[in-house]
Structure 1
Amino acid sequence: MVSSERPVFAKPTFTAVELASALSELAPRLPRLLWAAAGPKRIDPRLREIVLLAVSEANRCRYCRAAHGELARGAGVTDDELAALRRRRWQELPPRERAAVVSALRRAGFGVPDATPEDAELERHFLPEEVAALAALVDAIRIANLSGNTVDMLLDRLRGAHRPRRDSTLASELAVAALWLLGAVPAAFGVGAAGLLRRLRGGDR
C-alpha cells in the first residue's frame, strides 16, 4: 500500500530561534564581513563569489544559487567553472580557490573527501585576516541560504506540497521569511532583477 502522506521538506532550514541565534553570533564579526566585501584589501570578488556559490550549492538555496551565479559571472567566473562548482568538482579549481572552497564547506558542515587538511592548506594561501574574513562570509551566506530555504518550506506548506520540519511552526516560518525579505529585495536589485528572474525560472528547486 502506497502512503499518501506528503514528504517532509528536505533542505536545511531555520526556525526563528535558530535564525536569531545565528545572527547574534555573526553580529560581532560584521566589521570582518565589511572588510571582506569592501575593505582596502578586500577578498577578491571572483574568489568571494566562488566561495559563496559553493556553499549555496551545498545548502541548495535556489535564491542564493541564482544570485551568486549571476554575480560570479560578473566577477569573471567562466561557464565551465560554474559547471564545476555546481557538480562539486572542486579539484578543477585553481589551488587557492580550491583551498577556500574546501574550508568554507567544512565550516558550513559539509565533509569534503580526499581533501588536504584544512589549516595547512589555508595557511599556504591566505593571511590570518583573510581566513577570518572568509569565515565571516561563510557564516553570512549560510544564514541567507537557510533563510531562503525556510521561505520555500513556507511556500510548500501553503501549497500542500511538503510537510515542514517537525519543530517548525507557521509563525516561525513567517518571521524568518519577513527577515529574509528585508535582505533579499535590495539584493535582487543589486544583482539585476532581469538576470535573477531568468535564472530562477530556469533553475531547479
Structure 2
Amino acid sequence: MGLSGQKTLVSNSAHNFNKRFYSGPRQFLDALRNFAEHADELSGLRRRGLVSRTFAERIMLAVTAVNGCRYCSYAHAKWALQSGIEAGELRGFLDGEIDHAPKKEVPALLFAQHYAESGDRPDPQMIEKLIKTYGPEKARDIMAYIRMITMGNLVGNTFDAFISRLRGAPAPDSRPVNELATLALLVFGTIPFSLAVMVKRLFKDRRR
C-alpha cells in the first residue's frame, strides 16, 4: 500500500487545551478505519526486523514530543531506556531535540516530527525523500510506527481533553456531547474492533 495514502486525523487546537485529540466519533472512526487498512503492516513490524527497537522508540518519541501525550511520553521513556537509549538523549527527545540520535536515523526522525506537525498530512516530497533514503520496505515500517504512535497519542490526549473540560478549561471548538461519545467509542468499541481485525488476519493467513 502506498505511503502517500494517508488519511487525515483531526487536528484540534484550542486556547485552553492546545493538544491534538479526537474531538468527535467520526474522527475516531476514521482513525480506526485507517488503522485497519494498515493492520498487516503493523502486525509484521517486529517479525520483519527492518527497524530496530531503539530506532522504533526514537521514532515514537519524536512524534510524541510534538503531540504532547503525557501517557505515551511516560511509557515510551521507560521503554526507550530499556532499549538502550541514554538518559541524556531521552531528555532531549522529550524536548523535541534529536541532536544525539545516530546520523542514519535523523532523516526518519525529522520526517516523524514533520508528520506530526503537519497534522498527519506530510508533504509528498518528504515522503519521497523518506523512501529514497531508506528504501520502500523500511520506509513503510517507519510509517507504520508513526501511524501507530499517532493514534496512541491522540487517544491519550482525548482523555486529557475531557479531564481539562471537567477542570473548567475546555477546548472551545469541541462540544461535550462529542467528547463523551468519542470516549464511549474508545472504551466500548476498541476491544470489538481489535477482535475483528484479529479474526480477519486469521482467515487471511489460513487462505495463504
Q: TM bucket by the smaller chain?
A: 0.7 to 0.9
> In structure 2, what is the equivalent of residue 148 of structure 1?
156
Distance in 1 between residues matched to 2:110 and 2:28, nearest whole Å: 24
Distance in 1 between residues matched to 2:53 and 2:139, nearest whole Å: 15
> In structure 2, what is the equivalent of residue 4 of structure 1?
none
Q: Bigger shift: 71-80 or 135-144? A: 135-144
Amino acid at match of 1:28: E
- Give the unaligned 5+ runs of structure 2: 1-14, 120-124, 191-208
| C-alpha contact (below 8 Å) 2:63/2:149 kept by paired residues | yes
Distance in 1 between residues matched to 2:25 and 2:154, nearest whole Å: 11
Which residue, 106, 117, 127 being the options, matches 2:135? 127
1:24-173 to structure 2, matched below 5 A, reads 24-36=33-45, 38-110=46-118, 118=126, 119-120=128-129, 123-124=132-133, 126-160=134-168, 162-166=169-173, 168-173=174-179
Alpha-carbon shift at residue 148 of structure 1 (Å): 0.8
Distance in 1 between residues matched to 2:118 and 2:96, nearest whole Å: 12
Alpha-carbon shift at residue 159 of structure 1 (Å): 2.3
Distance in 2 between residues matched to 1:16 and 1:77, nearest whole Å: 37
Relative to the length of structure 1, the TM-score reads: 0.73
Q: How many residues get paired?
A: 169
Distance in 2 between residues matched to 1:92 and 1:104, nearest whole Å: 16
Distance in 1 between residues matched to 2:106 and 2:75, nearest whole Å: 21
Alpha-carbon shift at residue 28 of structure 1 (Å): 1.3
Q: Bigger shift: 170-179 or 101-110? A: 170-179
- Give the unaligned 5+ runs of structure 1: 1-6, 112-116, 184-205
Instruction: Evaluate the alpha carbon distance shift between residue 165 and residue 22 of structure 1 in structure 2; reply closer, same or farther with a 3 A threshold.
Output: farther
Relative to the length of structure 2, the TM-score reads: 0.72
- Establish whether residue 18 from structure 1 lines up as the match of residue 53 from structure 2: no
Q: CA RMSD in A?
A: 2.5
Moved over 3 A (4+): 117-122, 175-183
